[in-house]
Structure 1
Amino acid sequence: MAETTADVTQDAVVIVPGIMGSELYDTVAEKTVWGLSGVAWLLKAWTRPHGLEPLRLTPRELEGETGRIKPTQLMRHSSWTPYLQGFEPYTDLIATARGCVADPAAVLEFPYDWRLPVSVNGRLLAEAARRHLSAWRAHPAHDEARRSRVDERPARLVFVAHSMGGLVAQAALDGTHDSDLAEDTRAVLTLGTPFYGAVKAAAILNSGRGAPVPLPHRQLRSISATMPGLHDLLPRYTCVLDGDDMRHLAPGDVSGIGGNAELAQAAADFHRKQAHVTLPGHRAVAGANQATLQSLTIRDGVVAPHHHGARQHSDGAFIRDPRGRLKLYDVKGDGTVYKESAAVGPAVTPLPLQHGALASDPVALKAVAEMLRDDEHLGPPQGAPGCGLNVPDLVEAGAPWTITLGGVDSLAGVQCEVADVAGSDVQSPKLGWGDGEIMARATVNAPGLYRVTVRTIDAHTITQLVLASDPRESGGDTD
């Protein structure tokens, strides 16, 4: 019997992570400032004053002198950030890509300094992708892989991008830096990319305004206030509820809520130019069924975010009720990016997943593998099954907190588990009904990073990471 040939692509793959998805090394201090392994580092970074001070952009860095911080690799460990919550590592995504190519040399991991503007990282990605494609075409395994494919064509590029990484890929392919790069690209798969921005970016800039917040949230606000990369994620759709109308978030609004008007304007100008860019062979995976911020109200410099937004008719007019009042809709999303911001392009697969798990969940990885192997069919939409999972981003060890499920109307077949990321401390909180929703109360005894896992009767698994702090080290007072 003849030997079965492996179903692998001859193409070159580039993996682009999301914001905070790359390890960063301080070349002056000679130490890693983001992405160390171990929960102890994570707790120290977020729950001690100035734990993340090395991430603050200096005046020289804002002027373009960006050699101090060097991105080293994609995150290999579970991580956590206030508001954005848990991020699963990229190890499974990398392994999936390597299993679909003719040789590991065909896969390029592209870490980048996510503090910087998307435009800067887009230029660096364009240069790196061109070098990678040239090197792979010259690799001995490339020609052998070509001979096993139907068309025997030379390799082209395939980008797999999570979150902000999709915006970086879009910037790399806009023709500014390499006019032939888009033509040399077969496909782009985006996982939860906020093509129209995310309200959470505004909430981060505003954290602590008007109400006390824990130390980790204050630290994130402080380092983000002058971070161009965060301003690149601000919502660009009509998201500000103003009386009985909707409008765009203006640079003046951004300054008033704690951000930087100049960075907001620069981001808006850049993304306006990107509006014409069509990603080659674009396929989008969008998170669904998770409670997600979609609009906001601003009053006296304080942001009130909402889990709903307005919709427009084809002529651009907002949909209103017979009295002329705005109709508000909750389309949900992945907990960070609302569905319509990520569901862009001719082929969209919705999955009931949280944002940080979109690049690691087995169902999402199956979509990645099918695209890399040049399968034109990603399967039926997966947005209806599963459930919504809502947990706090930060809890205190020893204090009870609530897990809430949405989109399920029965306890039958639903399982809930809370475990530390090492899997050594596992508990199964009892699910029950409360306020018309399925809920559970959980308590963890020690500080650390914990994964909440919910399995539904339709065999879907939804996860989210929660950081448990030491109550003695996580202050709640304002600056």
Structure 2
Amino acid sequence: MSPQRQAGGATPAPAEPEVPLHVTQDAVVIVPGIMGSELRSTVTGDVLWGLSGAGWLLRAWTRRDGLAELHLTEDELTGRTGRIEATRLLRHGTWTPYLRGQEPYTDLLDTVREYVADPAAVLPYPYDWRLPVATNGKLLAARAREHLTAWRAHPAHRAALAHRADQRPARLVFVAHSMGGLVTRSALDGSHGDDLAADTRTVITLGTPFHGSVKAAVILNSGRGAPVPLPHAKLRALCATMPGLHDLLPLYRCLREGDDVRRPGAGDLASLGGHPDLARESLAFHARQQGVELPDHRTVVGTRQPTWQSLSVTDGQITAYEDGPRPHSDGTLIRDRDGHVRYFAVHGDGTVYRDAATLAGHVSTVPVQHGDLARADSALDAVADILLEDLPHGVPLGEPGCGLSVPDLAEAGTAWRAVAEHVDSVQGLTCTLTDTATGTALSAPLRMEDGRPTATLTAPAPGLYRVALHTYDRYTISQLVLVTQPGVAVEEAP
């Protein structure tokens, strides 16, 4: 008798695949942040954003035509897209002026895959981050539905149910970094003819600017009336007509005027360097999103890092501040005994200040930079806990660790400083400078300067470097810095 057949001629059912005991049966979608997806030309096949190596980054940011292909065309601005496609999540560390270093998503992917029943349960969702959040949200809604349907039919899904107490069919879990959280909320707003929220167990956001970021306004304003380094001017030129960047502009009371602070309007955003139509469309989009609730929303936010919270405008130029107003419960601003607005340094992840990344729901804080929120062990531990349906305890008020201040751009052979924030001693602190291409690490001693632990660093050659502070309580806070040839960083744009 054939080993493939039992007595009576019946064919045995295929064996269920074995799965680890401690996994979720749910389907997971990973949504990266702005500039977190590799972009490729559908015409030439060339990778336009996301290549590996510091040499590519240096060419992209220090040559005048380095990012020309990424500028939106008139067709793309009117919705006729397809010239550029997003192919995969960022696999290599990269760097952007103001937004600074962004770590790849490989560690986040590896962590999520460790806690699902099969790699097929994970959908990495790259998207063209130049386009409006609303456009990418609609596309995500369709892909997430397809992913959930396919996963529920997968043999490993059925096997995973045997280990779960509720044995319910899979639902969706979104893990979204930065802008990816806005894209996810747009996908769940119910306007796409699919009640995706009903099939979503939880949404995990990592440093998402739900209320916008002052840094986005600074990007659009850079170089207006004053020369700036060439990479910064190139970023402004790219973002001036980029809907995705306009969707990150600040929405809260952050514009200082005399002894008051108000929300920027479309006219303000346009006067700062934004595109008038894109500014209006973005504000209208966010107004429509106000009523969208994220199912079982878990927020992971960065803290302890110096972060712009508010701004003022003089002769069309922005001054950004690392503090901002705070309201009473009735919405009026806290003032001193003389009636003047008081300003508080809440801090954040270096790009999004803490309160701007927070909606209702559970908040977990970790003392890391924005680009590292999808890579740092403390953030990945929180994601893993949520996947297994355990509430993350987080870091109470972000007290451990420290902040880190470094320039976003430096020159080879020239000394610059890395400063530890919110600590008053060098005891237990170490600092390293690592070439991301070679892995060569240099240790730098810290000494007290102006009351803060400071390391003086010099990169020997151009490249992409990681500055890391290691604290006595075993936290590592890191930031990527692009190092150029001498003289390139200060070349004026046309």
Return the TM-score normalized by structure 1: 0.98
Find the counterpart in structure 2 of residue 412 from structure 1. Answer: 427
> Is contact 1:371-1:378 (8 Å) kept?
no
Tell me how far 1:343 sits from its aligned partner: 2.5
Question: Residue deviations 1:215-269, cap 9 Å, x none?
Answer: 1001000010000000000000011000110111122122222111110110011
RMSD value, Cα:
1.3
Task: Give how far 1:382 is off.
Answer: 6.0
Instruction: Out of 302-311 and 427-436, give the one that drifted further.
Output: 427-436
1:303 aligns with 2:318: yes
Q: Specify which of 388, 397, 418 is matched with residue 412 of structure 2.
A: 397
| Alignment CA distance shift 1:137-1:199 (3 Å) | same
- For 1:274, the equivalent position in structure 2 comes to 289
Matched, 1:258 2:273: yes
1:209 counterpart = 2:228 = no
> Which residue in 2 is equivalent to 1:246?
261
Query: Quick check: 1:27 aligned with 2:57?
Result: no
Whether the 8 Å CA contact 2:229–2:491 is kept in 1: the answer is yes
SS at match of 1:131: helix
Matched, 1:134 2:112: no
Structure 1 pair 300–379 and aligned structure 2 pair: CA distance change class (3 A): closer
Corresponding residue of 1:337: 352
Matched, 1:294 2:312: no
How many Å apart are 1:377 and its aligned residue?
Answer: 4.1
**Which runs of no fewer than 5 residues in structure 1 stay unpaired?**
none
Q: 1: distance between equivalents of 2:46 and 2:83?
A: 11
Q: Name stretches of at least 5 consecutive residues in structure 2 with no aligned partner.
A: 1-17
> Could you give the per-residue CA deviations for residues 88-115 of structure 1, whole angstroms, max 9, x where no partner exists?
1000000011111000000000000000
**Does 2:178 align with 1:175?**
no
Provide the secondary structure at the position in 2 that maps to 1:329. Answer: coil
Tell me if 1:76 matches 2:76.
no
Contact persistence 1:370–1:378 (CA under 8 A):
no
Equivalent pairs counted in the alignment come to 477
* Paired AA for residue 375 in structure 1: D
What is the identity, as a one-letter code, of the residue corresponding to 1:412? Q
Q: Which amino acid aligns with 1:15?
A: I
Tell me by how many angstroms 1:402 deviates.
1.0
Q: CA deviation at 1:178?
A: 4.0
Instruction: Decide which of 440, 454, 476 is 2:469's aligned counterpart.
Output: 454
Task: Indicate whether 1:102 and 2:117 are aligned.
Answer: yes
2:408, 2:482 within 8 Å by CA — same for their partners in 1?
A: yes
1:431-475 CA-partner distances (Å, limit 9, x unpaired): 111112111111111000000010111111100000001124334
Matched, 1:471 2:467: no
State the alpha-carbon separation in 2 of the partners of residues 199 and 332 from structure 1.
12
Q: Indicate if the aligned counterparts of 1:332 and 1:339 stay in contact, CA closer than 8 A.
A: yes
2:166 is paired with a residue whose SS is coil
Instruction: Give the greater-gyration-radius structure (CA).
Output: 2
Deviation of 1:6 after TM superposition, in Å, equals: 2.3
Q: Distance in 2 between matches of 1:456 and 1:146?
A: 42
Matched residues in 2 for 1:81 and 1:88: separation?
11
Alpha carbons 1:288, 1:333 under 8 Å: kept: yes
Match of 2:4 in 1: none
Q: Percent identity?
A: 57
- 1:56 is the counterpart of 2:91: no
Higher alpha-carbon deviation: 375-384 or 240-249 = 375-384
Residue 284 in structure 1 maps to residue 284 in structure 2: no
- Offset of residue 375 of structure 1: 1.4
Q: In the TM superposition, what is the alpha-carbon distance from 1:478 to its structure 2 partner?
A: 4.4
Q: CA deviation at 1:209?
A: 1.8
- Structure 1's consecutive aligned runs of 4 or more residues displaced over 6 angstroms after TM superposition are none
Give the 3-state SS of the residue equivalent to 2:176 in structure 1: strand
Q: Which residue does 1:192 correspond to in 2?
A: 207
In 1, the alpha carbon distance for the partners of 2:415 and 2:425 equals 24
Aligned to 2:336: 321
Aligned-partner SS, 2:447: strand
Work out the CA distance in 1 between the residues paired with 2:119 and 2:348.
Answer: 34
- Deviations along 1:42-95, whole A, 9 cap, x unmatched? 111011112001110000000000110100000000000000000010000000
C-alpha spacing 1:97/1:424, structure 2 compared with 1 (3 Å): closer
> In 2, Cα distance between the equivalents of 1:472 and 1:438?
29
Q: Given the two structures, how large is their TM-score scaled by the length of structure 2?
A: 0.95
- Could you tell me how far apart the structure 1 residues matched to 2:80 and 2:101 are? 31
Aligned to 1:183, the other structure's residue is in SS state: helix
